[in-house]
Structure 1
Amino acid sequence: MDSDRIRAVRTVDASAARIFAVLADPYAHPALAGAEDVVEVVSATEVPLREGSEFEVRMSRGLPYTTHNVVVAHVQNQTIAWRTTMLGGLVGGRVWRYDLEVVPAGTIVTETWDVSEDRQRWLLTRGRRPEATQRQMTRSLERLAAQVTARG
């Protein structure tokens, strides 16, 4: 496992457009968080997100904190990614990326956690953190699949 870039993959029985719509709505993110650490989205410059959009998220992992996120990649119905920082950019730099590929069974969703340029890379790639992150990402994709395939 490349601990700088962790991936989780799932085929979802939904269109890329439907999946992308959920990912591009930051206010949907708390329901998707496999680590259950996203408390709420505080603000977003625009919804749906596009390249350059910014959004603030209240988080909690034992202690509360807020992240600042900037969309760094956006290809409609194909790719969305954002860079997460805290404390005015002094902490963080990890990128959360989702790539969508249409296949006969639906859409393959690949979530990538990239810490290759994160200021705390040395800490985030140690011990069991990469494995725990991958498990949480797998849960996130399960929640995404449940949300976009729910009947209602």
Structure 2
Amino acid sequence: MSAYLVSESAVIAADPQRLFDIVADPAMHPKIDGSGSVQAARSGGPQRLSLGAKFGMDMKIGAPYKIENTVVEFEDGRRIAWRHFNGHIWRYTFEPVEGGTKVIEQWDATKVWNKVLLKLAGFPKRNRAGIQGTLKRLAEVSGNDAR
């Protein structure tokens, strides 16, 4: 695996569609974000994401900023991913398994042009911790446990 592809997974005792629907709702992103950087969904965006949908988020890493995302992968109940302006992709996959759903979250910066700056800023390592926190919070928000 590349240092620019960070992937973590958890099995959550919930239906894949239930978990997908939480992630596909931008208003839920601040509630499930384990990094502490996602502050709020920006007004005017879709209530539910779909392929090609654009949605903005209020963010904060040190200082507040705004970011727009575009959904680049979408298979209802199974996979969703959005891309940031710089090419970062946040991807979630949902796989039914015994006892619930295996959720895989990935931060994919393999096609980003400024990889060295990302690494110097500690993003691969920082994102791993954030992803682990997000999977835990996704389980909590869904009313279930992650393992």
Query: Structure 1 length as normaliser, TM-score?
Result: 0.89
Distance 2:38 2:80 in 1: 18
The answer to whether the Cα contact below 8 Å between 2:45 and 2:54 also exists between their aligned partners in 1 is yes
The structure that is strand-richer by fraction is 1
Alignment of 1:101-112 (within 5 A): 101-112=95-106
Which residue type is aligned with residue 113 of structure 2? R
Distance 1:129 1:121 in 2: 10
Q: 2:134 matched to 1:140?
A: yes
Provide the residue aligned with 1:9 in structure 2: 9
Provide the residue aligned with 1:66 in structure 2: 66
Following TM superposition, the consecutive aligned residue runs of length 4 or more in structure 1 with deviations greater than 4 angstroms are: none
C-alpha RMSD of matched pairs (Å): 1.5
Q: Deviations over 1:40-65 (max 9, x none)?
A: 11135422110011101111111111
Distance 1:143 1:24 in 2: 15
Number of residue pairs matched by the alignment: 144
Distance 1:79 1:44 in 2: 24
The percent of aligned pairs where both chains have the same amino acid is 31
Structure 1 gaps, min length 5: 86-91
Alignment of 1:1-152 (within 5 A): 2-85=2-85, 92-126=86-120, 128-149=122-143
Q: Deviations over 1:3-57 (max 9, x none)?
A: 1100010000000010011000001000111110111111354221100111011
Q: Deviations over 1:71-109 (max 9, x none)?
A: 000001000000012xxxxxx210000011001110000
Change (3 A) 1:122 1:78: same
Which residue type is aligned with residue 32 of structure 2? L
Which residue type is aligned with residue 89 of structure 2? V
The answer to whether the Cα contact below 8 Å between 1:59 and 1:66 also exists between their aligned partners in 2 is yes
User: RCO greater where, 1 or 2, for CA within 8 Å and sep 6 or more?
Assistant: 2
SS in 2 for 1:35: coil
Distance 1:147 1:119 in 2: 35
